[in-house]
Structure 1
Amino acid sequence: MITKMTQLNMKDFNKPNESFIVSGRIIPTFENNVWQYTEELFSEPYFKKYEDDDIESSYIEEEGKAVFFYYVENSCIGRIKIRSNWNGYALIEDITVAKDYRKNGIGYALLNKAIEWAKDNNFGGLMLETQNINVSACHFYAKNHFVIGAVDTMLYSNISTANEIAIFWYYKF
């Protein structure tokens, strides 16, 4: 069941935020005005977990912002955080699915909810950013008809522990 975040379920926001395995990286290339990519596998995979986010009540109260939770029984196992962006796209700020439920269609269901929300709010498409070391996320977006629109090699350059680049993905309606 997918439910919009309210004051009552706001406490569930960080529940599905769990680690993922970093097994390699995406290597984007830009040729003839088209982004493509290859993959490099790491000899020693490792786990990464993003820090928990603080969530503002503005995602409940304001138009142009929303969080949707995916529940199995009474347990929150997925979420998508989305808002309007200046360029006419809806920006997916975060999408996460609990480890034990990945690759079961939950991310796809949340993405479809974001598409529905974006269309209902008259956006021209969806956009998001992920890191090139989050290979499974990159595969997920490519499989769901997102295309690379840009790469930023400097976004994480001031974080000494980050050995990654930002990839911006777009899905135009």
Structure 2
Amino acid sequence: MIIKMTQSNMDNYNKSNDGFTVSGRIIPKYEDQTWTYTEEVFSETYIKKYDDEEIPVDYVEDQKKAVFFYFSKNNCIGQIRLREHWNGYAYIEDIAVAKEYREKGVGTALIHQAIEWAKEKKFCGLMLETQDINVSACRFYAKNNFTIGSIDTMLYSNFSTANEVAIIWYYKFK
């Protein structure tokens, strides 16, 4: 069951914030006005986890922002956070699925909810950013019909421990 975040269920925010295994990186290539990519496999893997974020209270009231939770048996196992972007797209700021529920359709259901929300708001599509080292996320977005729109080599350059490139993905409505 997917429900929108409200004042009464905000305590579920961050419950699905598990880390992910870094096993390689996506290597994008732009040729003939089309993005493709290959994958580089690392010899050693590691876990990357982001800190829990402060609950975005304004996402309850603002009509151009939303958080949706995915529940299974009264447990929040996934969430997606969306907002209006200046370019007419709905921006997926965050999507998270608890580790034990990945590859079971939860993320795809959340993407479908985001598409429905964005179409209701008259956005032209969805966009998001992820890192080249989040190979499983990149595969997930490609599987769900997102295409690479650009690469940002500077987004993480101010963090000495981040050896990452930002990949911007788009899902344009027809």
TM-score, scaled relative to structure 2:
0.98
Structure 1 residue 11: deviation in Å? 0.8
Match of 1:7 in 2: 7
Tell me the alpha carbon deviations over residues 2-31 of structure 1, each in whole angstroms, 9 at most, x when there is no partner.
010001110110100001100000001111
Match of 1:137 in 2: 137
Greater than 3 Å deviation, 4+ residue runs: none
Task: Please list every run of 5 or more consecutive structure 1 residues that lacks an aligned counterpart in the other structure.
Answer: none
1:87 and 2:91 are equivalent in the alignment: no
Task: Please list every run of 5 or more consecutive structure 2 residues that lacks an aligned counterpart in the other structure.
Answer: none
Structure 1 residue 74: deviation in Å? 1.2
1:38 and 2:38 are equivalent in the alignment: yes
Matches within 5 A, 1:95-110: 95-110=95-110
Identity %: 65
Structure 1 residue 40: deviation in Å? 0.2
Mapped to 2, the partners of 1:116 and 1:73 lie a distance apart of 24
Match of 2:149 in 1: 149
Structure 1 residue 91: deviation in Å? 0.2
- Aligned letter for 2:172? K
Structure 1 residue 73: deviation in Å? 1.1
Match of 1:77 in 2: 77
Q: SS at the partner of 2:117?
A: helix
Considering only aligned residues, what root-mean-square deviation do their CA atoms show, in Å? 0.6
TM-score, scaled relative to structure 1:
0.99
